């Protein structure tokens, strides 16, 4: 049961095609809290997610676009504004991989320019383009809550064969902080969430072992990230801006990360 923390708000959420992803989990949490939704993804499966939300009584529109293309982003933001009249809350979740595809892991020395451009485009440029299209409307209304999905990977830690993702997600945090400074006087906050190991459809083989070796002994559920995003998007976080909220089961605070029976 929700507590109507988002009653009367309209939220635009990207990356909502996967049934077991952070985006759809966030959309469900927002719907439970009373928000109307505009959900977007490059995949047509976003329309299926909208139908599922609508069946639960949510007011929702769904939109497809390549979020690395400015003209397509502007078009779906315009569609959402026509449908709902405004956008109060923005969650930039899309990134890392396209629905139905697997993430490429390439050592830095083997990257070519197209690998770099793709990784930066899908995880950083997409967030810039969506935010740049939405922010003027928030400024006009004098209110907004922006939550960008970053990661602990990049801002705090790194993995092998992941330098593009690290760069993009560190860039998300830097962009969030710069954005927060520019829009604060307009009644808008901008924060980022930093997930650790998450049991989503994008979790690669072996990553569940990483989750098992966190202090809490498991990967997070997508809805746990959704609830952290909800907090940052609600007025409960009205005096927070430019911050990274880490949700990683304590993984980044521990020095030893091997099997607990060998140390603890």
| Of 26, 7, 19, nearest in space to 148 by CA | 26
Vertex 77: Cα angle to 72 and 81 (nearest 5): 150
SS3 10: strand
Residue 250's CB is within 10 A of a number of other CB atoms, namely: 12
Selected catalytic residue, list 165, 239, 256, 263: 165
4: left (phi over 0), alpha (psi -120 to 50) or beta: left
- Beta bridge partners, 60, equal 37
**How many Å apart are CA 207 and CA 260, to the nearest integer?**
16
What single DSSP character describes residue 124? I
The H or E element that residue 46 is part of is helix 45-55
- Beta bridge partners, 188, equal 144
Contact 104, 115 (CB under 8 A): yes
Decide if 263 is catalytic. no
**How many Å apart are CA 241 and CA 179, to the nearest integer?**
9
| Catalytic center residues | 165
């Amino acid at each position: 049961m929700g507590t109507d923390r988002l009653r009367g708000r309209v939220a635009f959420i990207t990356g909502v095609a996967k049934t077991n992803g952070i985006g759809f989990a966030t959309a469900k949490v927002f719907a439970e809290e009373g928000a109307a939704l505009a959900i977007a993804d490059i995949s047509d499966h976003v329309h299926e997610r909208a139908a599922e939300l609508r069946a639960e009584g949510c007011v929702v529109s769904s939109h497809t676009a390549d979020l690395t293309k400015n003209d397509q982003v502007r078009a779906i933001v315009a569609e959402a504004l026509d449908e709902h009249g405004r956008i109060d809350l923005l969650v930039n979740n899309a990134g890392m991989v396209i629905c139905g595809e697997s993430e490429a892991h390439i050592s830095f020395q083997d990257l070519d320019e197209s690998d770099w451009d793709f990784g930066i485009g899908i995880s950083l440029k997409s967030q810039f383009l969506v935010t740049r299209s939405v922010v003027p409307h928030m400024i006009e209304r004098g209110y907004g809550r922006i939550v960008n999905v970053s990661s602990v990977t990049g801002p705090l830690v790194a993995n092998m064969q992941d330098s593009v993702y690290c760069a993009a997600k560190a860039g998300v945090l830097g962009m969030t902080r710069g954005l927060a400074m520019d829009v604060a006087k307009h009644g808008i906050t901008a924060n980022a969430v930093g997930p650790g190991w998450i049991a989503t459809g994008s979790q690669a083989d072996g990553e569940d072992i990483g989750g098992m070796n966190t202090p809490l002994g498991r990967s997070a559920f997508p809805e746990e990230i959704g609830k952290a995003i909800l907090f940052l998007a609600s007025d409960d976080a009205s005096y927070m801006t430019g911050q990274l909220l880490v949700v990683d089961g304590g993984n980044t605070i521990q020095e030893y990360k091997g099997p607990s029976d060998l140390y603890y």
